[in-house]
Structure 1
């Protein structure tokens, strides 16, 4: 095996999600984007956030499921300001799973689902 890469399957809004993520995270970029299918949907794309590669697509098949918080993207923040800013942007239009606070395992932590249904854990370590 050469590597393992997280793969996110969207239902018609992969490009919007990718553009949102790279707009709020420093050191992020789209590394490949292949269109196809209905209305130029994403057949497969690759993007990175802080050096972590992700693959994604728009499913051409409608499924009765979407993302679940049991798989989440864990972000270690460098400052409280960075954590607060990401929490605000990612939670807009989404759902808060754990409000920002100190839970004993970090200085500050929050867990949200973004407007696309992707789950994010934001952590500021001690």
Structure 2
């Protein structure tokens, strides 16, 4: 009998597959596990993500393209915290995730880390990238 499972769940409005594809391209041991799509009958636009599961560096997450419009979006109060082994890897991933996003804390030494940045990607998802 499986135990309790806890996974992050991201709700997009039409960009779930694009976001998942970007995320799994950045980290080792990452892949899209499954995608169920809305059909002609909806309730979301045909072909968009009804429910998907993906793995980022061994951490499973889920996402959806919400058919309901809402007045909220992602907030930095929830973020993915990523420990990276090299400065080159950190800088590369920060540049990709930060493109068309917003930098909350620029790449710098903040005392608790030799190199750290906190940013929102172009989908609004928040990432804290830390050099181990």
TM-score normalised by L of structure 2:
0.92
Q: Give the structure 2 partner of residue 85 of structure 1.
A: 92
Q: Give the structure 2 partner of residue 107 of structure 1.
A: 114
Q: Give the structure 2 partner of residue 122 of structure 1.
A: 129
How many angstroms does 1:3 deviate by?
A: 1.3
Structure 2 segments unaligned to the other structure (5+ residues): 39-43
- Distance, in Å, in 1 between the alignment partners of 2:89 and 2:25 is 14
**Superimposed CA distance per residue, residues 83-121 of structure 1 (whole angstroms, 9 cap, x where no aligned partner):** 001100000010000000000101100000000000000
- Distance, in Å, in 1 between the alignment partners of 2:81 and 2:131 is 11
Q: Give the structure 1 partner of residue 41 of structure 2.
A: none
- Distance, in Å, in 1 between the alignment partners of 2:117 and 2:101 is 13
- Distance, in Å, in 1 between the alignment partners of 2:61 and 2:18 is 15
Report which stretch shifted further, 72-81 or 37-46. 37-46
Aligned mate of 2:6, from 4, 9, 13? 4
Structure 1 segments unaligned to the other structure (5+ residues): none
Q: Give the structure 1 partner of residue 56 of structure 2.
A: 49
How many angstroms does 1:22 deviate by?
A: 1.2
Instruction: Number of aligned residue pairs: give it.
Output: 125
* RMSD of Structure 2 on Structure 1 (CA): 0.9
How many angstroms does 1:39 deviate by?
A: 2.6
- Distance, in Å, in 2 between the alignment partners of 1:26 and 1:63 is 33
